[in-house]
Structure 1
Amino acid sequence: MRKKILTVLAIGAAMCASTVPAAAINSYNATPAPERTEVGAFMALWDNTGDGVPDRFDWVCSGTMVDRDTYLTAAHCTDDWPAGTKFYVSLDQDVQTLLDNAAAQGLTPAQTAASFVTNHHAVEGDTHQDPAYPGTSADAHDIGVIDFANRATDPADVWSFTPATLPSAGQLDKLGSRALDAASWLVVGYGTQEAVNGPGGQTHPGGGVRMKAPVDFDALNKTWVRLAMTAPQGNGGACYGDSGGPNFVTLNGKRVLAATTITGDTPCYATNVVYRTDTQSARSFLAPYVKLP
């Protein structure tokens, strides 16, 4: 089960109706992440009804700046959008409040997107994804970028941030499971909280605010890392809208963007399954966009 964009949008009404304060990542063992300025919200402006008029502007995924003009995310975040969709990145800590304020002012989605750009809350870019996506279970090729190389304004013109450090080729394999299990892991994103049971079934409140949570290493596969999100062990975790966001591991005192959030269990209680950035396939896709270690 991918943390698909459509699922995020389908639960949007429940999120707006909820009285729970907006938050990203799971609510347990999670804290705001204002210092993670390299992590941003993936936003889109699109025509949801097919009448040629944009009628949605919202955050849909997460991602990370890996240089001044390259934002790393997931291919399932960039894939299968209606013609004419425009894509943006915001490195603001809280995009949901800005969206709520725009709605209160009666702005249309197109006006809201324009306001975000004019007031330096978002920058428009161009999406690219691994052409081999969706691949197979062994390698989903679920990796994409929003690129600003051909844009007059890139995120570094608007925000101050230090790009995330990518791993060297095969670095996780060289370290092995024992070393990775001993290391500290951190997931960051703008997504919703874990499932909340209510009279109408499960909802996923919150989202649109950059949050972080510790996670534990569970297993290393050819292109995947499995991370534990179990609360009793002090972990938090990722949920809907965190797709494409970073999973950092601290190695020799340095934070490395080891993998990106892709999928997990439906209620977002147990496992985050993340796509490695040190594999040959990931590096082959990234090479045209960013200088690799």
Structure 2
Amino acid sequence: MTLGLGCVADLDDSGDDQFRVINGAPAYSNVDKYAATVGIHQRSGNQVSISPFCTGTLISPEVVLTAAHCCDEAMGGSNFNPMEPEEASVYFGDGPAFVGNAVNGDFYWVSEVLVHPSYNRYSLANDICLLRLSTPNHDSPTVPHLPASIGLSNNDAGVMLDHVGFGYADIQKSEYGVKLQSEVPIAGLGCAVQGCSSGGYTTQFSYEQDGSPYYGPCNGDSGGPAFISRNGTQYVAGITSYGDAQCLLYGVSTNVSAFQGFIDDFIGEAAPDCSADSQCNVECGPGEDPDCGGGGGGATCDNGVCEAGESCDGRNGTTSCSADCPGKTSGKPKKRYCYVGNTCEGPGCP
């Protein structure tokens, strides 16, 4: 979390080339999926822009999902130019981010920006970008990305998706910077709405928003989520990408389930938090977390049984006994595990 923040109007980028929710209802952070919806602000040193230029979603404590065109600084040509991590800050709150000079929420710095390598600046194909926070936010809820196994298909036509963003609240573009939401039914994969550019990609989906009765994202909500409920669980199904200039015909979002591998690889690369915080992180390797110190326990090592007081690496005051207690404490965090007595701890437990 950042301290000593200042706000400056001239960093604000609220131009009409971004995508925002029209006639949306307030999306208050007492609802988990809305709390996980974040604003992305420009940053210069310890100063951030008054208003966000894009929206995103916290999908793990340190990873934000947004649109590639939000992360692209190229001024022209076909090649994209990712912004530097120190040029962005992630806002947690309902907005506006500043009330006078006081911060109305929390800002987190960014340590890494990854634009999809096949992002096309002209067609907006593969319009997806991932941000890594410099410090994980364990206080905010997260919403998982929709996996391919239950991904969107044309059978989902008519299903309501909940679009959220910090953009303009009306066609006149007189209000922005407050988190809003609007439910709009999906029309189908690719461009399935009249007026949408011919064809499209199955890595995208489209929806109608002509005001009869649905309005959806418009200028300023780029990168924002479209949430879907599958079997009682909320997932991020879409990333707001583009639409018609007047926001009165159609909108197109990136189909998140088509990028599961890209997202999973980025999340899996994250190093676990092994700092001295009075909590032993089971994803840390031997000796990496000072809160997982070894010794004690009174157990007998090398007897072939992982007894009470023993563990694979000596965490929580137990005796380190890898001969008796299986474990994998290196490699990708999601594959790590450790037996403590007869209990397996960690995401990779067999």
- Fold match by TM threshold 0.5: yes
Q: Alignment partner for residue 123 of structure 1, among 70, 94, 108?
A: 108
Match of 2:251 in 1: 272
Q: Alignment partner for residue 61 of structure 2, among 62, 65, 68?
A: 68
Q: TM-score, with normalisation over the residues of structure 1?
A: 0.70
Q: What is the CA distance between 1:249 and its match in structure 2?
A: 1.8
Between the aligned partners of 1:11 and 1:177, the Cα distance in structure 2 is: 31
The answer to whether the 8 A contact 1:66-1:290 is kept is no
Aligned-partner SS, 1:242 = coil
**2:237 matched to 1:232?**
no
Between the aligned partners of 1:84 and 1:256, the Cα distance in structure 2 is: 26
Return closer, same or farther for 1:209/1:184 CA change in 2, 3 Å cut-off: same
Return closer, same or farther for 1:217/1:162 CA change in 2, 3 Å cut-off: same
Q: What is the CA distance between 1:8 and its match in structure 2?
A: 5.4
Question: How many correspondences in the alignment?
Answer: 233
Match of 1:10 in 2: 15
The answer to whether the 8 A contact 2:14-2:220 is kept is no
Aligned-partner SS, 2:106 = coil
Match of 1:168 in 2: 147
Between the aligned partners of 1:165 and 1:87, the Cα distance in structure 2 is: 22
Amino acid at match of 2:179: R
The answer to whether the 8 A contact 2:86-2:110 is kept is no
Q: What is the CA distance between 1:73 and its match in structure 2?
A: 0.4
Q: What is the CA distance between 1:82 and its match in structure 2?
A: 7.1
The answer to whether the 8 A contact 2:93-2:105 is kept is no
Aligned-partner SS, 1:289 = helix
Show the 5 A alignment for 1:141-290. 141-148=126-133, 151=134, 153-156=135-138, 160-169=139-148, 171-172=150-151, 176-178=153-155, 180-196=156-172, 204-221=173-190, 222-233=202-213, 235-279=214-258, 282-290=259-267
Instruction: Point out the structure with the larger helix share.
Output: 1
Q: Percent identity?
A: 21
Between the aligned partners of 1:248 and 1:218, the Cα distance in structure 2 is: 15
List 4+ stretches of structure 1 deviating above 6 A: 81-84
The answer to whether the 8 A contact 1:184-1:250 is kept is no
The answer to whether the 8 A contact 2:210-2:249 is kept is yes
Q: What is the CA distance between 1:62 and its match in structure 2?
A: 0.2
Between the aligned partners of 2:13 and 2:246, the Cα distance in structure 1 is: 13
Match of 1:40 in 2: 38
Q: What is the CA distance between 1:76 and its match in structure 2?
A: 0.8
Structure 2 gaps of 5+ residues are 1-10, 74-81, 191-201, 269-333, 335-350
Larger radius of gyration, structure 1 or 2? 2
Q: Cα RMSD (Å) of the superposition? A: 3.1
Amino acid at match of 1:207: Y
Aligned-partner SS, 2:154 = helix
Amino acid at match of 1:237: G
More RCO (CA 8 Å, sep 6+): 1
Q: What is the CA distance between 1:284 and its match in structure 2?
A: 3.2
Structure 1 gaps of 5+ residues are 1-5, 13-23, 48-52, 103-114, 197-203
The answer to whether the 8 A contact 1:44-1:59 is kept is yes
Amino acid at match of 2:145: L
